[in-house]
Amino acid sequence: MSFFADLAYQYIDGRWCVGSGSWDIIDFNPYNQEKLASITVAGVEEVDRAYRAAERAQRDWAATNPYSRRLVFERVLRIVDEREEEIAEAIVAELGGTRLKAAYEVHLAKEFLREAIQQALRPEGRILPSPVDGKENRVYRLPVGVIGVISPFNFPFLVTLKSVAPALALGNAVVIKPNQNTPVVGGGLIAKIFEDAGLPAGLLNVLITDIAEIGDALIEHPVPKVISFAGSDKVGRHVAAVCAGHFKRVILELSGNSALIVLDDADIDYAVDAAVFSRFVYQGQVCMAANRILVDRRVEREFTEKFVAKVKTLRTGDPADPDVQIGPLINAFQAEALTALVEQALAEGAEALVRGRTEGNLVEPTVLAGLPAHSALHAQEIFGPVVLLVPFDGDEEAVRLANDTPYGLSGAVHTGNVERGARVAQRVETGMIHINDGTVHDEPLIAFGGEKYSGLGRLNGDSTVEAFTTQKWISIQHGRTSFPF
């Protein structure tokens, strides 16, 4: 199957169709600028059609025996297994992800699909006691109805499935709006897999469009009860504000500015390996990536020498080449913005221990040290292969520096004493933090989400069940109630 020829369409109510919008999204390979597809955007009419189709289909789906629902996800998993190589190739082509990144994304997506199979049976009702004699309280956990999923470009296959699969397994219907940089991997490809697995028409819809065409129609529409958004905190703030005005629940997975902390008793060689991966995986275009490497001054020299030496071994180039670790940024705008950020840091007094070149969308790694403490770059997300090395004196200063940012998504602490590491980790204001490991992790059973500007709510495991279901209280009075009048 040629994914980019066959799946570059809207998918509404089980039909592949052309959008009615006024312009086309051009899907490019970010490495060689090859045109992969041209897709006419969906308009407000398609938004309404998709949500109404989902609303109709969801009623019967919610009433379907969950043992029958989970059969669909077993078939989805088999299809992903069978097409794994094709899916990985599509990730390389559309995202500029390296072979290693593509393999990791597909592997983790399969783990989440395995969890979705179990989640079909996860919701449990309860019978709770009452202070009223003869009253029986039943609390049912029910699907919310229809969920809107807005996914990012960096892990579109994985992150989209993280919401879509459990939402469907729990009895909901879904409308996906993939990022316009990844309309096939984050949209059409997922729809095709579920279609081939036998998911009834209307339960999963894909709208390839943009706010420039539809405004806030996707999140203002009266049908969806939950919006699951992954992307920047700037857009996430807008999504949250609009949803609040319409009494919609939101799950937000937003930007990060993670710190990887190297204490004075750390295994330096191991910490270097973890830091290089944590910063440069998928060109640093990862919300959990370690923007800042905080190093105790007592080991700063040794760590810096080894870190710089390892960074210099990284190869930048064609992501299809298995020997390349750094592929292209997603588009020219991101490459130019990152290059300008490096220039800003150098103008403020930072020193480039490694200075990468920019050629088109390819940006080689840059390692910056000595950035003045007052620089705003310490507090912001750097979405690319640029890293800040920051020294500290003792655990107290490490915690202070780690927390000196409006974000709090992930982090890591390296130490020879895991209890010391745990004490430091508990004080870092972040939703997730890992001792003696990297900053980039996701697991199907563990609550995933951030603090501060890094998000709202959690996904994975029981958190996903909570996000995509609601509770309903039904009481039964056995006997007669005595009313006061």
253 catalytic per annotation? yes
Task: Read off the pLDDT of each residue in 104-133 and give the average, rounded to a whole number.
Answer: 95
Comparing CA positions, the residue from 475, 482, 471, 464 lying closest to residue 120 is 464
In this prediction, residue 122 carries a pLDDT of 87
Q: How many residues would you count in the chain?
A: 485
437 three-class SS = coil
CA–CA gap between residue 27 and residue 187 (Å, rounded): 13
Q: What is the pTM of this model?
A: 0.96
Torsion-angle region of 354 (φ positive above 0: left; ψ -120 to 50: alpha; else: beta): beta
What is the pLDDT confidence band of residue 331, given thresholds at 50, 70 and 90? very high
Amino acid at 206: V
Question: Does residue 1 carry a pLDDT above 70?
Answer: no
* Cβ partners under 8 Å of residue 300, min gap 6: 391
Write the DSSP string, 220-288. Answer: H-SS-SEEEEES-HHHHHHHHHHHHHTT-EEEEE----EEEEE-TTS-HHHHHHHHHHHHHGGGG--TT
- The answer as to CATH 3.30.360.10 being correct for domain 258-435 is no
pLDDT digits (tens, 9 = 90+) for 383-414: 999 999 999 999 999 999 999 999 999 999 99
Looking at domain 3-254+454-473, its CATH architecture is: 3-Layer(aba) Sandwich (3.40)
Among residues 46, 115, 253, 381, which one is catalytic?
253
Could you report how far apart the first and last alpha carbons of the chain are, in Å?
72
The two counts, helices (H) then strands (E), for the chain are 16, 24
Hunting for tokens 């990844």 — which residue is that? 182
Question: Does residue 3 carry a pLDDT above 90?
Answer: no
In Å, how far are 22, 183, 465 from 284, measured between CA atoms? 34, 21, 30
Comparing CA positions, the residue from 451, 456, 457, 460 lying closest to residue 257 is 451
- The answer to whether 304 touches 442, Cβ cutoff 8 Å, is no
* Cβ partners under 8 Å of residue 189, min gap 6: 3, 7, 87, 90, 157
What is the pLDDT confidence band of residue 2, given thresholds at 50, 70 and 90? confident
Domain ranges of the chain: 3-254+454-473, 258-435
Task: Read off the pLDDT of each residue in 109-138 and give the average, rounded to a whole number.
Answer: 95
Among residues 287, 302, 397, 443, which one is catalytic?
287
Comparing CA positions, the residue from 440, 410, 446, 470 lying closest to residue 146 is 470
Question: Does residue 289 carry a pLDDT above 60?
Answer: yes
Q: Which two tokens stand for residue 165?
A: 């699969």
- The answer to whether 333 touches 367, Cβ cutoff 8 Å, is no
pLDDT digits (tens, 9 = 90+) for 166-186: 999 999 999 999 999 999 999
pLDDT digits (tens, 9 = 90+) for 435-471: 999 999 999 999 999 999 999 999 999 999 999 999 9
17 catalytic per annotation? no
